[in-house]
């Protein structure tokens, strides 16, 4: 009898031992915000493909997730078509023509915060041209149908969520410096509360023009003119000519393998794809996974792998259209074997022994990622951003959208840390028309030609490591995608020489890591992964419980 009870209990309990992703048979959308997810699903249900849905979500997030969703910023879209082809759309911001190497240094040669706040921080936005390029070349719905949901959200408004209210309130310092941002996003100081309706008439007008005239409005039409005029009034650098000239670059995704899986990921100017491939290379065959997920030995090995990649990142990465990125060298099997050999399983390697560097700056984060699979099996992973939360804080009067501060992703002063504490080199110095180096890493995993995993996240430099961790949680530790996303994360970026850890690891594990020589810093949360796994005839969508993401499918 006792035994029977035990078996019963097991049968009942088993399903809840794993966190449950959202299951759907045909299609799935995972974004950080419910209205945007709904917009994506609606476009799919109306016969759109994953690219159509991605464009609709991109515009919708610009309305409903203003800290990172954008039309005033840029990003990357990775697409894997059902027939196995793949492509990568680079609609990253570019430095304006008037930008120059030392533009953010004061008279004494010190970096100012002009790369982060105010008009001069903005690069030439790429999102609208990126979305138009995607829609024209790979979508099947009319443009008006994919811009339409965002127009409606801006015009009619949507209920402010708990997270949005908190985020807007938390950014009052930044947004309050610019009257138009203060008026729109802070309601002139009378902050929005959860449940209130947020309407954005200026944004609606801009989006309507984009819906009617296409990207031409943003880059050559009324939006362009208003933007350039306001830039000029406030000492910003972006001109009409910069806007007109902005071009999307379609690149070949970076590919590699890991334990029989094919990895399709982001090429430079993303530093993320090269990072994922180098780090997976170091991990493969090291046996690190035998220690078990979350054990001190496993975390130590991961951290050492991360530290080594970020040292390389600092030295050699930049826009491939301007500098030679030594991809072959970074991913060379002999070099990777050498990196693996240099890891001491018992002791942390001080970062100072890997390369010289300087102490860090502060950290912050805001970007957004969404993942989509349609009923035909096309997969899209998009990470796009204004860089820091609410970008440079500037809303151009009459336009209703925030501008990016992506210029801070350059090395304002090579060798010195940027806003993410990242030390970067000459290869990422500022030059007119150049794209700043990015950590954004939309990634897709297949096996035997079949789609397996679509993922990505915001989080500045932590992006690269978060993508790596979720990927190995699935591949090496057999977690379902929701468990893999939920699992606590670590981050090491070479400099500062710190092992950053989320809550959730045991104090014993942390003590063991400290004993190995790691300087541990605990943080509240890193990243906001949106992932989909295709498994056993199901699509499993995992939003990140760290924030208000939503997975929905049919």
Q: Which of 64, 223, 367, 457 is an active site residue?
A: 367
Three-state secondary structure of 11-66? HHHHHHHCCCCEEECCCEEEECCHHHHHHHHHHHHCCCCHHHHHHHHHHHHHHHCC
Choose between 367 and 378: whose C-beta lies nearer to ligand DON. 367
Enter the tokens of residue 160. 């402010």
Give the whole-angstrom CA distance, residue 548 versus residue 553.
17
Residue 529's H or E segment, with its range, is none
Q: Tokens 């941002």 sit at which residue?
A: 181
Distance in Å, CB of 422 to ligand DON, minimum: 9
Choose between 214 and 436: whose C-beta lies nearer to ligand DON. 436
Distance in Å, CB of 404 to ligand DON, minimum: 8
Distance in Å, CB of 407 to ligand DON, minimum: 10
Choose between 209 and 251: whose C-beta lies nearer to ligand DON. 251
Query: For the purposes of burial, counting CB atoms within 10 Å of the CB of 42, is it exposed (0-12), middle (13-18) or buried (19 or more)?
Result: middle
Q: Treating both helix axes as pointing N-terminal to C-terminal, what angle do 143-156 and 34-45 enclose, rounded to 10 degrees?
A: 150
Choose between 366 and 469: whose C-beta lies nearer to ligand DON. 366
Distance in Å, CB of 408 to ligand DON, minimum: 8
Q: How much is the CA Rg of the chain, to the nearest whole Å?
A: 23
Choose between 168 and 224: whose C-beta lies nearer to ligand DON. 168
Query: For the purposes of burial, counting CB atoms within 10 Å of the CB of 336, is it exposed (0-12), middle (13-18) or buried (19 or more)?
Result: buried
Distance in Å, CB of 64 to ligand DON, minimum: 17
Clarify whether 446 is annotated catalytic. no
Binding site for ligand DON (CB under 6 A): 365-367, 385, 387, 406, 409, 438-440, 458-460, 463
Distance in Å, CB of 88 to ligand DON, minimum: 14
Give the whole-angstrom CA distance, residue 227 versus residue 241.
12
Choose between 318 and 459: whose C-beta lies nearer to ligand DON. 459
Give the whole-angstrom CA distance, residue 554 versus residue 535.
15
Give the whole-angstrom CA distance, residue 291 versus residue 502.
20
Per the DSSP assignment, residues forming a β-bridge with 402 are 395
Residues annotated as part of the active site: 367
């Amino acid at each position: 009898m006792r035994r029977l009870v035990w078996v019963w209990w097991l049968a009942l309990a088993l399903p809840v031992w794993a966190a449950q992703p959202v299951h759907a048979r045909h299609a799935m959308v995972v974004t950080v915000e419910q209205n945007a997810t709904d917009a994506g699903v609606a476009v799919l249900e109306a016969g759109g493909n994953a690219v159509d849905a991605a464009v609709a979500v991109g515009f919708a997030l610009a309305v409903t997730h203003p800290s990172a969703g954008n039309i005033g910023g840029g990003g990357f879209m990775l697409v894997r078509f059902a027939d196995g082809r793949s492509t990568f759309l680079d609609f990253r911001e570019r430095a304006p023509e008037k930008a120059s190497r030392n533009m953010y240094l004061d008279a004494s040669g010190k970096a100012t915060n002009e790369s982060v706040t105010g008009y001069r921080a903005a690069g030439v936005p790429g999102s609208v041209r990126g979305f138009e390029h995607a829609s024209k070349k790979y979508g099947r719905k009319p443009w008006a149908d994919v811009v339409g949901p965002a127009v409606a959200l801006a015009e009619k408004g949507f209920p402010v969520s708990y997270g949005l209210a908190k985020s807007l309130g938390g950014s009052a310092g930044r947004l309050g410096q610019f009257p138009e941002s203060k008026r729109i996003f802070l309601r002139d100081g009378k902050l929005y509360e959860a449940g209130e309706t947020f309407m954005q008439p200026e944004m609606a007008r801009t989006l309507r023009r984009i819906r009617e005239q296409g990207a031409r409005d943003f880059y050559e039409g009324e939006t362009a003119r208003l933007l350039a005029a306001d830039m000029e009034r406030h000492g910003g650098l972006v001109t009409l000519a910069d806007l007109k000239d902005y071009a999307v670059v379609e690149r070949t995704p970076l590919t590699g393998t890991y334990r029989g899986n094919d990895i399709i990921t982001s090429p430079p100017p993303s530093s993320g794809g090269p990072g994922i491939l180098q780090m997976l290379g170091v991990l493969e065959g090291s046996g690190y996974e035998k220690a078990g997920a979350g054990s001190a030995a496993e975390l130590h090995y991961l951290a050492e792998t991360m530290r080594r990649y970020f040292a390389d990142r600092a030295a050699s990465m930049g826009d491939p259209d301007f500098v030679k990125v030594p991809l072959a060298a970074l991913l060379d099997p002999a070099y990777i074997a050498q990196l693996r050999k240099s890891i001491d399983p018992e002791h942390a390697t001080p970062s100072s022994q890997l390369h010289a560097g300087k102490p860090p700056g502060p950290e912050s984060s805001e970007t957004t990622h969404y993942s989509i699979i349609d009923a035909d099996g096309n997969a899209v992973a998009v990470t796009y951003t204004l860089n820091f939360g609410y970008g440079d804080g500037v809303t151009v009067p009459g336009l209703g959208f925030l501008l990016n501060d992506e210029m801070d992703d350059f090395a304002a002063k090579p060798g010195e840390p940027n806003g993410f504490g990242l030390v970067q080199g000459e290869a990422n110095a500022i030059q007119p028309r150049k794209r700043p180096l990015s950590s954004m890493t939309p990634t897709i995993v297949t096996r035997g030609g079949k789609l397996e995993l679509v993922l990505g996240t915001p989080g500045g430099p932590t992006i690269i490591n978060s993508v790596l961790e979720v990927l190995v949680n699935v591949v090496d530790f057999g977690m379902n995608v929701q468990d893999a996303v939920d699992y606590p994360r670590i981050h090491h970026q070479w400099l500062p020489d710190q092992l950053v850890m989320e809550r959730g690891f045991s104090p014993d594990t942390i003590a063991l890591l400290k004993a190995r020589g790691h300087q541990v810093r605990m943080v509240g949360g890193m990243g906001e992964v949106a992932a989909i796994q295709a498994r056993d005839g199901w699509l499993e969508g995992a939003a990140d419980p760290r924030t208000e993401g939503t997975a929905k499918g049919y």
